[in-house]
Amino acid sequence: MRVSQVTGGGYRAAVVGAGFMGRVHSRAIRAGGGRVVGVAASTPERARAAAGPLGAERAFDDAASLIEDDEVDVVHVCTPNHLHAPLTLAALDAGRHVVCEKPLATDAAVAARMAAAADAAKSDGTRVASVPFVYRFHPMVREARAQVAAGAVGRVHLAHGGYLQDWLLRPDDDNWRVDPALGGPTRAFGDIGSHFCDLLEFVLGDRITAVSAQTTTTLPRRGPGEGAPVATEDLVVLQFRTAAGVIGTGVVSQVSAGRKNRLHLEVSGSEHTLAFDQEQPELLWKGGRDRNEVLMRAPEVLSPDAARLARVPAGHPQGYQECFDAFVADTAEAVATGTAPDGLPVFADGLRAARIADAVLASARSGGWEEVAR
Ligand code: SOE
């Protein structure tokens, strides 16, 4: 089997899905000097219309022909969630590297099959299978992670935060993610709770082992006219504990008026507290008993791993798109060298998020604590 290898030809990627995420991925590919060899969308017409705006060299009639094209080394899967598994498995089978949007799959069993296929693909050549948990690529998140690892927080005992949005607040706010057939059985948690849990585990270097969760659907119907019944949750409130004995909470909402994309995380230990808010990503709050300070993304406060991700000089804000640019750059390095840079989120991380999501849903049903499968 041919395994796509980048050998000085640069990063040759193609994007399946021409929505918001397809645009973000395409910009990131081009920002790193890569080629967007092509795009496929839900119809050939949509792919043709998207090619120009995405900077894609070609429009493919369908995903199957894109995956089979030998100019394509890396397939970026940016479709609705129910298509992640079939497209990813076909791309791995065709010898491609894969970047698959989160949630990796609509349930943990399918995510496990994808992670196993990515592992098996490594045996016939180095193969990269990454998942854009991109908030890991904010320099101040890396700074928090470095400080926790260096013991600056002390013995960590508490972690809390959440992810709040408002774009599904009203009955006429609708999206494919609301439909479980396209998005999967968990919507708010799968879409954004997955980011919160990934960030928490990444910063702590720890693992959520058990959860107790409540979920609520605030609107019985959504969409045009009378609307359609809603079967996926708008809100999740969870308690968790970790392998290291940290306890904490998380609130996930897509109906919190005024909160646009508030992913926040606060970690407290025996020495200090650190707090990060992705709506102010250039800052990291550090609290102590005798002194509080706000660290700004500037070379003098950054650990080497955080400094590596600074893409513009201090005082020139960087944000969401730069996270994607850095994520794709690290994916490209893994493809080119066979070694993933530290912190690259891969299918095993997507599987973790899917296992936590399954435990959250099980707990919401049972009303009790549920273990997260390992
Ligand atoms: C929509 O909720 C969305 O675009 C998510 O799908 C992304 O993962 C998140 O980063 C921003 O919000």
Cα–Cα distances (Å) from 44 to 37, 41, 367, in that order, read 16, 7, 46
Distance CA 152, CA 161 (A): 20
pLDDT bin (cut points 50, 70, 90) of residue 126 is: confident
- Ligand 1 close to Cβ of residue 370 (< 6 A): no
Ramachandran class of 286: left when φ > 0, alpha when ψ lies in -120 to 50, beta otherwise: beta
- Ligand 1 close to Cβ of residue 275 (< 6 A): no
Which of 79, 191, 236, 255 most suits a substitution to test ligand 1, by most atoms within 8 Å of the C-beta?
A: 191
Q: Measured between alpha carbons, how far apart are the two ends of the chain, in Å?
A: 32
Burial 302-313 (b: 16+ CB within 10 A, else e): bbebbbbbbbee
Q: Which residues have a Cβ under 8 Å from the Cβ of 93 and sit 6 or more positions away?
A: 117
pLDDT at residue 9, rounded to an integer:
54
- Ligand 1 close to Cβ of residue 209 (< 6 A): no
- Ligand 1 close to Cβ of residue 188 (< 6 A): no
- Ligand 1 close to Cβ of residue 191 (< 6 A): yes
Which of 175, 259, 261 most suits a substitution to test ligand 1, by most atoms within 8 Å of the C-beta?
A: 261
Q: Which atom of ligand 1 is nearest to the CA of 195?
A: 8
Give nearest CA residue, ligand 1 atom 11: 261
Given a contact cutoff of 8 angstroms between Cβ atoms, the answer to whether 5 and 73 are in contact is: yes
Pair type for strands 35-40 and 12-16: parallel
Distance CA 205, CA 142 (A): 12
Q: What percent of the chain has pLDDT over 70?
A: 98
pLDDT-wise least confident of 59-68, 122-131, 350-359:
122-131
- Ligand 1 close to Cβ of residue 261 (< 6 A): yes
Cα–Cα distances (Å) from 304 to 147, 152, 319, in that order, read 11, 16, 19
Among candidate residues 319, 322, 321, 325, the one with its CA nearest the CA of residue 29: 325
Distance CA 238, CA 317 (A): 32
pLDDT at residue 124, rounded to an integer:
73
374 Cα: distance to centroid of ligand 1 (angstroms) = 26
Q: Residue written as tokens 């996270």? A: 323
How confident is the model over 189-240, as pLDDT tens digits?
999 999 999 999 999 999 999 999 999 999 999 999 999 999 999 999 999 9
ipTM metric: 0.97
Mean pLDDT of the region 109-134: 94
Cα–Cα distances (Å) from 50 to 20, 198, 322, in that order, read 11, 31, 22
Strand partners, 300: none
pLDDT bin (cut points 50, 70, 90) of residue 4 is: low
- Ligand 1 close to Cβ of residue 192 (< 6 A): yes
Strand partners, 252: 163, 236
How confident is the model over 241-300, as pLDDT tens digits?
999 999 999 999 999 999 999 999 999 999 999 999 999 999 999 999 999 999 999 999
